[in-house]
Structure 1
Amino acid sequence: MEKETPPPEISAALEWIERKSLPLAELVDTEVLESALKGIAINLDGSKAAANSTKRRDGVFWTCMDWATKKKKVFEANPLNEVDWKPPETVVEVAPRQVPNPDQARALLAAVLVVAPQVGRHLYAFFACMYFAGLRPSEVVDLAEEDCDLPRSGWGLLRLAGSSPAAGKNWTDDGRYHEQRGLKSRAEGTQRPVPACPELVTILRAHIEEFGAGDGGLLFRSQRGNRLAPVSYESVWRRARAHALTPAQLATPLAERPYDLRHACLSLWLRSGVSEIEVAARAGHSVAMLQSTYAHCIDGDRDLMNKRIEAGLGSPGQGLTEHTEQAGAWSPDRRGSVPRLFRERRITVTYSGGQRSTPRGGTGGFVPGGDGFGQVDRPDLDEDVRRLHSAG
């Protein structure tokens, strides 16, 4: 490959980096490595970096050190293996405030037709695939007519075969805006079947009848016939959100991104009682990822779960009736079951901490003419023990 001469500004930046960087050989020093790892967890302004940013930088650092070890033979083994340091755990949990309910989702879809009469008619089905089938935007972009089984009535089926994320022309091998990939977390060439509810089947059938399919059978494309870019549908979504939501709702993260339609779909499935394994299979998630991302749906229905536990326990009287008939249940009125000794005598504690035995129904520890608490007498414990034995 022929080397290109970088522009002057790039050359100056590379020279500065070379002057300021340590030689790779110095990274065998554990203290130097630990200093570098601490540095990737801090932003340029000195603030603490987000967990996702730190984890991403750590991955790049590991890749560079592996390259220096295996390709350049600078180290016998990756020095990072000798450092006891891990990036912070990252858990991306969907906030309930992001997720629109079914009425809000349908209102947002309807608003797409209002705010963009021309493009909106084409994007209506695009957004519907995210809400009714839980597809990622990149999966909807890659959806072709041959991938869809759309009967005239009942449930249909979408057979997802790939995705087409918008990486940008500078980041793809062929210079195209989109990069053709397989399904996320799936082996190359495998498909993911996703059932399509009757409402989505009707929407897709109407879409195909009006717009047909483009190159490669793709259902969704730009006005120029290219694959849909995020900038084209995100701008319409912002206008639809402003049209459908109240000012108070607009100030919240409710349905802030088109991707929140997918979150709403998976949340609805979980709340409807669909098993986590089935939801994960339809969404292209692992069960563990589903549990951490949608914890508000799995663990958040506290009232519903409490009612189910109550139903399982049954009424308090059901389990006690049979036993109380045989052994009898204690109640405040069953004084006959209390030994006579304890019915006739009681212990009261005076201010000084002493104990005094008083007749039942008496004045407790107060004796007229005393110091306010009466005389403190200790009962004859031996006598009480004998009375207990005789009562037993």
Structure 2
Amino acid sequence: MAAVVSEETFYLSDRQCFAILDWAVEQPQSGLVLRAFLASIALAALHPEEALVVRVRDVQSTDDGTGWLLVHPQAQERREKDSGHAGAVRRVPVCRDLAAILKEETIRRDLRPDDAIFVLDDGRPLTAEVYRKVWRQARATVLQAHELHSSLGRHVSALRDVRIAAWLKNGDQTAGHILAVAECAGMSAPRLAERFANCLHKPTRDEIPWGRLGAALALPDLPSQPTSTVRRP
């Protein structure tokens, strides 16, 4: 079942996300690159515009099969309310599955460091027009009839939302954890908390440490007797 983000936005389930990737790879034309492109959004929480410009040199591999992805800001990110994050290159963790997919694409097409990873098999660039058409087809195939008429997965960026939600839910949700997720997602922490409020643990009244909170907000001890002042003649 999809989890509600707000009245107008829903999360795809993990099953639906993987079904979409499986559908993409079965396409007779450019199936592998389409899967790789969608996987970079689903597993690294990239904006589609960011994924389009990923080059081989942006992928940093580690010995354990994971890695990092250098994400360069694009037009959509600069339109975010977080002006402090616009223009900054960020490092996003790459899981083993995504690392393997990106490596497979690099080897399959014998790509060089400066080459873009997501290019159609006929040499044409993968454009927004192309991936939006693919997304509509994938959504129509994977989702059930009643889901197609809802906002569930209406845009390809729904894959990004699923990953951000998973990052938030699978952690201690301390301030440091939330800040780290915000940095990977290219958002400010307040914007992240607003957009994904349902993913954050809301303590009950009994869980709030009222004693420590009161002590932290207490004023310093005041003298028991008022201090006398000298009057001028």
Whether TM exceeds 0.5 here: the answer is: yes
Q: Tell me the residue number matched to 2:166.
A: 268
Query: Cα 1:187–1:248, aligned 2, differ >3 Å: closer, same or farther?
Result: closer
Q: Does 1:297 align with 2:199?
A: yes
Residue equivalent to 2:31: 120
Distance 1:286 1:205, change over 3 A: same
User: SS of 1:159's equivalent?
Assistant: strand
Aligned to 1:129: 40
Asked which structure has the greater CA Rg, the reply is 1
Partner of 1:65: none
Asked which structure has the greater RCO (Cα within 8 Å, sep 6+), the reply is 2
Identity of aligned residues (%): 27
> How far, CA to CA, are the matches of 1:145 and 1:160 in structure 2?
12
Query: Which of 180, 191, 201 is 1:278 aligned to?
Result: 180
Deviation at 1:276, TM superposition (A): 1.3
CA–CA distance in structure 2, aligned partners of residues 95 and 191 of structure 1: 33
TM-score by length of 2: 0.73
Cα separation, 2, equivalents of 1:136 and 1:214: 23
- 2: CA distance, partners of 1:95 / 1:297: 15
Q: Cα offset for 1:153?
A: 3.5
Deviations 1:213-239 (A, max 9, x none): 379411012455344211101111111
What is aligned with 1:288? Answer: 190
2:18 corresponds to which residue? 106
In 2, the alpha carbon distance for the partners of 1:260 and 1:213 equals: 29
Instruction: Say which of 58, 71, 74 aligns to 1:147.
Output: 58
Note the aligned Cα RMSD (angstroms). Answer: 3.0
Question: Are 1:258 and 2:156 matched, yes or no?
Answer: yes
- Segments of 5+ residues of structure 1 without an aligned counterpart are 1-92, 166-183, 313-392
Q: 1:94 to 1:280 in 2, by over 3 A?
A: farther
Q: Which residue of 1 aligns with 2:109?
A: 211
AA partner of residue 208 (structure 1): T
Residues 214 and 224 of structure 1: CA distance in aligned 2, closer, same or farther (over 3 Å): farther
Counterparts in 2 of 1:214 and 1:161: CA distance versus 1, 3 Å: same
Q: Secondary structure at the match of 2:42?
A: helix
Q: Is contact 2:85-2:188 (8 Å) kept?
A: no
Q: Give the deviation of 1:117 after TM superposition.
A: 2.4
Q: TM-score, structure 1 length as denominator?
A: 0.45
CA drift of 1:110 comes to 0.9
In the TM superposition, residue 152 of structure 1 has moved relative to its aligned partner by: 6.0
Partner of 1:243: 141
**1:77-226 → structure 2 map (5 Å cutoff):** 97-114=9-26, 116-151=27-62, 153-163=64-74, 185-186=84-85, 188=87, 190-213=88-111, 216-223=114-121, 225-226=123-124
The CA distance in 1 between the partners of 2:157 and 2:7, in whole Å, is 13
- Amino acid of the structure 2 residue aligned with 1:287: A
CA distance in 1, matches of 2:119, 2:85: 25
What is the CA–CA distance in structure 2 between the aligned matches of 1:258 and 1:265, rounded to whole Å?
A: 12
Cα distance, 1:185 vs structure 2: 4.9
Q: Which amino acid aligns with 1:293?
A: R
Count of residue pairs brought into register by the alignment: 196
Larger deviation, residues 234-243 vs 214-223: 214-223
Check conservation: 1:212, 1:219, Cα contact below 8 A: no
Secondary structure, counterpart of 1:193 in structure 2:
strand
Q: Is the 8 A contact 1:144 1:213 kept in 2?
A: no
